[in-house]
Amino acid sequence: MEDLRQFILDRKHRAFRRAVDRNLAAEYSALGLSPRERMTRRFEYLMSLETPVFLPGEKIVFLRTVENIPDCFTEEEWEGFRKEHFIHELGYLSNISPDYETVLREGLSSLRERGDEYVKRMIDAIFALSDRYRDEAVKQGRDDVAQILSRIPRQGATTFREALQLFRILHFSLWMEGNYHITTGRFDQYMWPYLKSDLEEGRLTEESAFALLKDFFLSFNKDNDLYPGVQQGDNGQSMVLGGITRDGAPAFNLLSKLCLQASRENLMIDPKINLRVSSDTPDEIYALGTELTKAGLGFPQYSNDDVVIDALVRKGYDLEDARDYVVAACWEFIIPKYGMDIDNIAALNFPKVINQVVHASARFASYEEFSQAVRAEIFAECDRQIRRKEYDNSPEKSFHVWFVPSPLMESLMCPKYYNFGMHGTGIATAADSMAAIRKYVFEENSVAWERLVSAVDNDFANEPELLHTLRYDAPKMGQNLPTPDEAAVFLLDCFADALEGRKTPMGGVWRAGTGSAMFYLLHAADLPASPDGRRKGEPFGANFSPSLFARTKGPFSVIASFSKPHLERVCNGGPLTMEFSSSVFDTAEGIEKTAKLVQSFIRMGGHQLQLNSVNPDTLRDAQKNPEAYRGLIVRIWGWSAYFTELDKEYQDHVIARQEYSL
C-alpha cells in the first residue's frame, strides 16, 4: 500500500501513458457528424486505445494510459458555437454531481437498457475495456481483480470493494468522455450500505476496509495531472462527508470517519474533503476534522447545514434536495443528480464597484448618499453581468448557454435545477474602502474627498502617510469593528437584493455568493488603487477573507466579523479562509481548542470555512528549493495543490496571506 503511494508520488505510473495525435476534430468535421455522434465516437476510440495496467499492490484498478483527449470540434466550429450561444468555460459539462448511487446499485447494464443509442455505445465501450482488464488480470494471476470484474460494471455492486471498483470505472469514464470538475458527492452516504453489510457479514473488518479505502483514495491521484483546471490541483474531485440525510437524520457514519482518516494518512491532494456540520454536530466530529487539518492538506472544508439548507430552500430548492447538498469543484453548493446549476457563470467585482462610485462625477453630501450610490452601482453591475449571459451584449439576438452534449454524464443526471451563481470578489477590500471613506471623509473630516480620490488615482505615490493610515491604521473587516463590518453586511445585502427575482434564460434563479475563485488575482490585476490603501494591481483576499494587509488580532475577531452578514442570502458558496501556524497543532490542547473554534464559527452562523496549517518559512524555502518539497501541499481558493507546481503569483499569494497568521 505504501509502495503504491510512493510509486504514484514518484510519477512512475506516468510511464504507461501515450499521447494521441489524431486530429479528430478535422475528421469529424469532414464527415459532418453531429456533436453527440462525435462525443460517442471519440469516447469509443479513446477507450479502445486504453491498455490495462496493474500497478504494484493495487486493489482498485483502472489507470489512464491515454494522455490527452483531442478536441472533437475545430476552432472554426467553436467560433460558430460562440456566435450562436454562450459558451461557459471549456464548453463541456463540469461542476455537477452525478448520480453514482443508482449505478452502484443497479450496474451499467441497467443504465444501458434505459439509454439511447449513444449511451448504449458508450457503455459497450466501457464493458470492452473492463473485459480487457479482466482478461489481463487472469493472465497476471490477479484472480481477485478478475473475479470482481466478472460482476461489475455490468451488474450492481454487492460488496464494498465492488462498489469502489465500479465507482472508479464510472468516474474514469466520465473524465474520458471529456467532462471535467467531476465531483464525488456524498460518498459516505451512497457507499455506506456496501461497507455496512461487509462488516456485518464478516467479509471485512474495520482495518481491512480502511486499507481498501486508502487504496481507493489513491486512485483519485493517478490521473489528476491530466485533468483540466486553472492550475494543477484545480480538478474538482470534491468529496462531501457528514451532514444530515434527506429525511433530516444525522448522516455521519463510520465510513465518514474512515474517509477523514484515510485522507490524513495518504497526504495527497485528492479527494478534496468537505465536512458538513451544524450546531448539533458533536465535539468528536470536530476533533476528527481538526486532526485532518493538522495534516496540512487544507482539508476539511467545513460547511454549515443550518445556514446552507435554509439558504437553498429560500432559493426554491425542495427541502429534501437541499438536505442532500454537496459542493461543486470548490465550494459552490449544488444538488447531486438534480442540479444542472452553473454556479460560477459570473462574478461581481466589489472593489471595482467602489472604484466606479468614487470616480462618478456626483458629489456626496453624506456617507448615506455615498452608500446609496454604491447600492445603485451594484444593481447596475449585476444587471450587466446577467444581460451578458443572456445576450452577450447583442440584445437583438437571444443567446443561451450551450454545452457539448455528454451522453454518459447526462444519463446520470435527472435535471431539476437550472440556477446560475454569481461570485462576489474582494468583499473585504470593498468593505474596508467604505469604512475608510466613512471614517476619514465623513466622520472625522480629516481627509478631503478630493484628496482621497487624487491619492487613489496616483496610487498613493505622493501620499505615503495617507497610504499608511488607510492601509494599516484604518478599521478592517476581520477586526470585529462596527464600521467595516456594517459595510460588509450592506454590500452583501445589496448583492442579494440585486439578484432577487432575476431569472436565467432557462427559468432558474440567480444565486449571490461570497466566493472569488481565481478572480482574487484576475479582478485585482487591472484595478487601480482602492481607498483601503490597496495599491494598483495588488490581489484581494481569496474568497470570503480579510484583505491581505489587514492586521487582525486573531481568529475570534475574524469569525465574529465574517459571521455578521446575512449569509443565508448570499449562499452560492465561498469560504472564510484562516491560516494557522503549524505549531498550533503540536499539542492535544491546540487541536482541541481549534476544534472548539470551528464549532464556535458554526454556532455564530458562519456558512463555510477553510482552515490551513502552514509554516511560511517552509513555503519560502520551497520556492527556492522546489525539488526538496515536491510533496508540500497548500490550499488555494477552493482546492489543494502541490505548492511547487503552482505559478509564482499563486505561490506568492499563499505566502502573503500568512504574514499575519497566528
Residues that bind other proteins (CB under 8 A): 460, 464-465, 467-469, 471-472, 480, 549, 551, 553-557, 559-560, 584, 587, 589-590, 593-594, 596-597, 600, 603-604, 662
Q: How many whole angstroms from its chain centre is CA 276?
A: 15
CB of 597 to other proteins, least distance (A): 6
Could you give the dihedral angle defined by the CA atoms of residues 139, 145, 150 and 156, in that order, rounded to the nearest 10 degrees? -160
For 224, 229, 258, 266, the CA distances from 9, given in Å and listed in that order, are: 12, 20, 22, 11
Indicate the residue among 175 and 601 with the shorter CB distance to other proteins.
601
CB of 526 to other proteins, least distance (A): 21
CB of 623 to other proteins, least distance (A): 15
615 burial level (CB within 10 Å; 0-12, 13-18, 19+)? middle
CB of 251 to other proteins, least distance (A): 25
Residues facing 537 on adjacent strands: none
| Phi, psi of 251, deg, nearest 5 | -110, -15
CB of 550 to other proteins, least distance (A): 11
Contacts of 274 (CB under 8 A, 6+ apart): 238, 239, 240, 241, 299, 300, 301, 302, 303, 326, 327, 331
Indicate the residue among 189 and 557 with the shorter CB distance to other proteins.
557
User: What cell numbers appear for 341 in the block?
Assistant: 446549476
Q: Residue 609 in contact with residue 601, Cβ under 8 Å?
A: yes
Indicate the residue among 184 and 429 with the shorter CB distance to other proteins.
429
Indicate the residue among 366 and 587 with the shorter CB distance to other proteins.
587
For 96, 319, 383, 514, the CA distances from 337, given in Å and listed in that order, are: 8, 15, 30, 24
CB of 242 to other proteins, least distance (A): 22
Indicate the residue among 185 and 531 with the shorter CB distance to other proteins.
531
Residue type, 352: K
CB of 609 to other proteins, least distance (A): 14
Helix (H, G, I), strand (E, B) or coil at 275: strand
CB of 159 to other proteins, least distance (A): 44
Indicate the residue among 113 and 283 with the shorter CB distance to other proteins.
283
C-alpha angle with apex 472: 552 to 530, nearest 5 degrees? 110
CB of 553 to other proteins, least distance (A): 5
Helix (H) or strand (E) holding 200: helix 192-200
Indicate the residue among 385 and 594 with the shorter CB distance to other proteins.
594
Residues facing 610 on adjacent strands: 301, 577
CB of 594 to other proteins, least distance (A): 8
CB of 469 to other proteins, least distance (A): 7
C-alpha angle with apex 50: 49 to 52, nearest 5 degrees? 140
CB of 552 to other proteins, least distance (A): 8
Distance CA 276, CA 299 (A): 12
Indicate the residue among 193 and 590 with the shorter CB distance to other proteins.
590
Helix (H) or strand (E) holding 642: strand 640-642
Q: Taking Cα atoms as reference points, which of 412, 346, 9 lies closest to residue 173? A: 412
CB of 405 to other proteins, least distance (A): 51
Q: Residue 467 in contact with residue 460, Cβ under 8 Å?
A: yes
Indicate the residue among 157 and 277 with the shorter CB distance to other proteins.
277
Residue type, 266: N
Indicate the residue among 458 and 587 with the shorter CB distance to other proteins.
587
Q: Are strands 326-327 and 333-334 parallel, antiparallel or unpaired?
A: antiparallel
Indicate the residue among 384 and 551 with the shorter CB distance to other proteins.
551
Q: Which residue has the cell 504494484?
A: 56
Residue type, 462: N
Q: Which residue has the cell 477586526?
A: 479
What DSSP string runs through 415-471? --B--EEEEEE-HHHHHHHHHHIIIIIIIS--S-HHHHHHHHHTTTTT-HHHHHIII
Indicate the residue among 429 and 557 with the shorter CB distance to other proteins.
557
Indicate the residue among 240 and 560 with the shorter CB distance to other proteins.
560
